[in-house]
Amino acid sequence: MKRHIVFVFSILAIIVLTDLGSAMKFNQLTPEEERVIVHRGTERPFTGRFLSHKEAGTYTCRRCGAELYRSTDKFESGCGWPSFDDEIKGAVTRKPDPDGQRVEIVCTACGGHLGHVFTGEGFTAKNTRHCVNSVSLDFIPAAGKETSTAIFAGGCFWGVEHLMKKAPGVISVKSGYTGGRTENPDYKSVCSGMTGHLEAVEVVFDPSQTSFADLARLFFEIHDFTQTDGQGPDIGEQYKSAIFVADDEQREATRKIIEQLRGMGYEVATEIKPAARFWPAEAYHQNYYEKTGKAPYCHIRKKIF
């Protein structure tokens, strides 16, 4: 009888654990995100999209969505990764790092790797620095803060990203791939011309400070929209000019600008495409010109409007 009861409780325990495991839904990760979050990797310094991010809001776990850090606790440390001197209570767990020297920090909810925590450095009054990988994070703007997104493809994403960042009202710009036939594309596969993806940038902006139309006009001014086979010396399908519109409003705004350009005598090669999934490019492509100190070689702003 006792054995029967133990057996029943064992089955019930397995069912409960299975239900709990299936209840937590994880976001699909890119190979780079999985390398860092699941396999405890580290993104290259000065490459993360949240390194210089200053918008008010909450940083969440990229894997499970749990709230981790508030923007009010973020500070500039110069270390090359986003830094926070405090976490949301109970959201981050500290554990000894396998190297035996550092302290690892993980998301309490899902165990995803975030980075490491250091104390005694004197950066802030709290004397604590959470050194976090950008790819381990997502971001939710503060309540009432509306943001919009635009996706532009205008040749090598390095130059487009670099110049878009300078526009008023732009919150963040990320280089990546979109519009193709395959999932999880990487630079090598996109350059082969076999995936159908274009190099593009995802621009997050504050619509109270700028508009999609303003950014679209800037996009046309920073690349040669008359070139059909690439951009400057970069030839290939992945370098073609296109705007990926998210809705009818963006489509109509793009159409009107192209009509205006054609009325000015330009032969516009830029395509209007429906927005598709945007795949972030490898970490070494992000903030390329800031990291290298170089200047764009085929993207220079030419005033048109």
Which pair of structure tokens corresponds to residue 91?
A: 């959201």
Q: Was domain 31-141 assigned CATH 2.170.150.20?
A: yes
- CA distances from residue 253 to 46, 115, 217, 257 in whole angstroms, order as listed: 35, 42, 10, 6
Whole-number pLDDT of residue 24: 59
> Is residue 156 annotated as part of the catalytic site, yes or no?
yes
Residue pair 109/63 in contact by the 8 Å Cβ criterion: no
Sole residue written with tokens 């490898």: 282
Instruction: Supply the pTM of this predicted model.
Output: 0.61
Q: In whole angstroms, give the CA distance from residue 137 to residue 48.
A: 10
Three-class DSSP category at 251: helix
Beta-bridge partner residues of 117: 103, 130
Whole-number pLDDT of residue 288: 87
Sole residue written with tokens 């493809």: 153
Could you read off the pLDDT tens digit of each residue along the chain, which spans 305 residues? Answer: 444 444 443 444 434 333 434 455 788 899 999 999 999 999 999 989 999 898 889 999 999 999 999 999 999 999 999 999 999 999 999 999 999 999 999 999 999 999 999 999 999 999 999 999 999 999 988 876 688 999 999 999 999 999 999 999 888 899 999 999 999 999 999 999 999 999 999 999 989 899 999 999 999 999 999 999 999 899 999 999 999 999 999 999 999 999 999 999 999 999 999 999 999 898 888 888 887 888 888 899 999 99
Q: Domain 148-292 falls in which CATH fold?
A: Peptide Methionine Sulfoxide Reductase; Chain A (3.30.1060)
Q: In whole angstroms, give the CA distance from residue 263 to residue 118.
A: 59
Q: Which candidate in 61, 64, 107, 156 is catalytic?
A: 156
Three-class DSSP category at 279: strand
- Which segments of the chain belong to CATH 3.30.1060.10? 148-292
Whole-number pLDDT of residue 19: 43
Residue pair 245/274 in contact by the 8 Å Cβ criterion: yes
Q: In whole angstroms, give the CA distance from residue 134 to residue 131.
A: 10
Q: Which candidate in 61, 64, 107, 131 is catalytic?
A: 131
- Which segments of the chain belong to CATH 2.170.150.20? 31-141
